[in-house]
Amino acid sequence: METEENTLKWTCRACTYLNYFKSLRCVMCKSLKPVEIISLSPTSNETPITPLVDTCESHLRISDENITKLCNSPRNSISSSRNESSPVATLIDDVRNMGIRNSDTTAIRSNNSSPLASSSNLSITTTTTNNKSDENLRLCYNNNNNNINNENSKKWFCSACTYENYPKSIKCSMCGIKRDQSNIQKIIACENDYIENLDDLMTGASNFNLITNSTTSSSSSTKISDSYTAKNNLKNLPNNYEISSSHSNLAAVNNNSSNKYTLSSNELEAQHERRIRHFKRQADWIWLNACIGVVENNQAAIEHYLSRGGNVGRTLTNNEVLLLNRPSAFDVGHTLIHLAIRFHRDELLPRLLAQVSSVGPSGLKIVPSYIAVDIATDIRRHFGAILRIRKSPFNCHYVNEHATFSLPSDIEELPITVQDQLYEELLDRDAQKQLENPPPALNWSLEVTSRLGSRLMVLWNRSAGDCLLDSCMQSTWGVFDRDNILRRALSESLHQCANLFYPRWREYEMFQAALLHFSLEEAQWEEDWQQLLSIASQPGASLEQLHIFVLAHIFRRPIIVYGVKYVKSFRGEDIGYARFEGLYLPLLWEQSFCIRSPIALGYTRGHFSALVPSEPYQRLDSTREEEEDVTFLPLVDCENKLIPIHFLTQGEIGHEETIMRQWLDVCLTEGGLLVAHQKLHKRPLLVAQMLEEWLNHYRRIAQVTAAPFSRAPQLIGLTAGYLSDGDTDEE
């Protein structure tokens, strides 16, 4: 009994669930039941099609009335049994019968004088139509199943938390944020095209050889009913038509492109207008009016948005920027605070910042390059201009101007509350905490941080795959590598100087592999090298140790990386060595061609950050004649062991301290720590202007928050005390 029930069930092609025979959709995944071509058995009550065609061929003389009778007889016999057949068989019968009828009427119209020719044309056309319809139906159903599987696999990512959701989910399952309107627009557009263009799809179905375009006036009423029936049945089929965005006519589509359909330009414009109207209905105009209010200095729109519980940290999406249609004013990712800073709305900033502080830490980051956008662009352009290529066998890119970024000492002049806000918006507290947690990799020596005043700060960095390049640019020029200038220089240097970088990289990696008691073949080395070359040229791709080594040659200075020793899982368990911590020297340059002042980077769990010092408010030694400030960077870890030097050859291993003294200005502290001197040169003019504009932003905040409430209670207290003493005005 169970085997009989199993044979009557059908298996879902998407999830392999065994469903009952009458189920039109899968109970588990809701996929449509696979359609199978039902062959008409000769024992059924329906009038078979093939014998009728054979009968037409056997008679040489057939009148017009008999031809019409033969063409109409399958229609009548099949329609009488529709109530007993399945919906799938009904759909197949509709399509086949309409094809036979249209072919018959064409044969009748084209041959009024020769009954023999009409009968032969009828049989040939009917047989060809049936064969092509069966073949195309099979292709159509297979394509439908493939489309179902492909669409089910296309999950969408939440723009807020990056969680991967199912295609039919309207909200994110993790954070509850609504789905991006661009994806919803695609779904709505497909549904509208599918439903509203069924008449056009019936016309274009000739590409499937299912329905012909020839019509006759004698059977117009019958064709209207058939079109209506087929149209309703087509609504139950999966949408297998790919609506083309081309403006070509329908006649340009040939029979070979059977799965494509073209809409006219008027219909495309109507669809575009319909999408825009739908998005305007769905858009949050209170939020958009608030953004416009910041640009146009309309405080009423901003107050209306905030009074309704609006989030100050909300960012503009791509669709919202397109809807506002002002690229010069609005950009993706901007908040109300960014817009207020950009358009110098000083009277709005305290209100917005107070809203941020009232709801707690918001994670909103404001780095100097965000305040002075134009100056930051000029700095990146200037950095691209100072890149050179040396005319020598080692034709690597290099910079001919050096800079070291540090936080200005003017920060100490701001009020404590404003300083806290500045550091909260500038620094990466999580990375700082992770680097300082035991075993500490940063700021572990009280002698260096307190007595020598060389505490390093972790600047906030973008979370993209360009974090290594961004951190190098922040440590030197205080901006991000948004234009991928440094990445292009890195990629070109690796390709042009592969004959020098590859042997040293291979020797170093072979030594590291030998320590772990394994070796690689030459083909594996070449494959790994090609992978390193490939990711160097891909924006957003994560970089490796070799790329830090190349960057040291581009900047012509050492790079020190302070990082965690172990990579941890989300449970906090150690799962592997990080291997990024250490010293990277420009060993392929001459020592006289490089500077001895290093830059410092931090590495935490797949992310690089810039480590910068604060400019001392008062010089440590007022008697020294040098005009340069010095930061002391430890060359040992918390266990007083030398940090490793990467990409040394076999002959250089074992002489690490000597090599450090050759490439760095090294000294010993009173506590016996080996440290390197990082000299803080005078800032470039563009960097100084950017920092000044950034500080002015917080100075304006300090002025607004300091006046006049802090002095009012003191005035009232003095006045009250003066009047309560009973003294006269003369006294």
Q: Which residues are catalytic?
A: 467, 607
Q: Is 289 exposed, middle or buried (0-12, 13-18, 19+ CB in 10 A)?
A: middle
**CA distance readout (Å), 283 to 156, 189, 278, 315, 317:** 20, 17, 9, 14, 11
Strands (E), 224-326: 242-244, 260-262
Give per-residue burial for 115-147: e unless 16+ CB within 10 Å, then b. beebbbbbbebbbebbeebeebbeebbeebbee
CB 448 within 8 A of CB 632: yes
Which residue intervals of 427-544 are DSSP H helices? 429-436, 446, 467-476, 485-496, 498-515, 522-536
CA–CA distance, 184 with 88 (Å, rounded to integer): 31
Residues 6+ apart with CB under 8 A from 342: 334, 373
- Residue given tokens 């439908």 in the structure block: 144
Residue 459 DSSP SS3? strand
Nearest residue to 385 (alpha-carbon basis) of 372, 369, 401? 401
Cross-strand pairs, 678: 631
Ramachandran bin of 341, using left for φ above 0, alpha for ψ from -120 to 50, beta for the remaining angles: alpha
Taking the alpha carbons of 251, 254, 258, 263 in that order, is the dihedral positive or negative?
Answer: negative
**CA distance readout (Å), 574 to 46, 439, 510, 569, 570:** 73, 13, 25, 6, 10
CB 477 within 8 A of CB 375: no
CA–CA distance, 226 with 398 (Å, rounded to integer): 75
Structure tokens at 153: 């696999």
**CA distance readout (Å), 156 to 26, 149, 153, 162, 163:** 23, 15, 10, 9, 8
CB 455 within 8 A of CB 614: yes
**CA distance readout (Å), 292 to 123, 247, 300, 362:** 70, 35, 11, 23
**CA distance readout (Å), 686 to 23, 215, 387, 419, 557:** 71, 76, 17, 24, 22
CA–CA distance, 613 with 680 (Å, rounded to integer): 9
Cross-strand pairs, 171: 178
* H helix or E strand, kind and range, residue 416: helix 416-426
CA–CA distance, 251 with 248 (Å, rounded to integer): 8
Residues 6+ apart with CB under 8 A from 162: none
Structure tokens at 723: 């009047």
CA–CA distance, 674 with 275 (Å, rounded to integer): 66
Ramachandran bin of 443, using left for φ above 0, alpha for ψ from -120 to 50, beta for the remaining angles: left
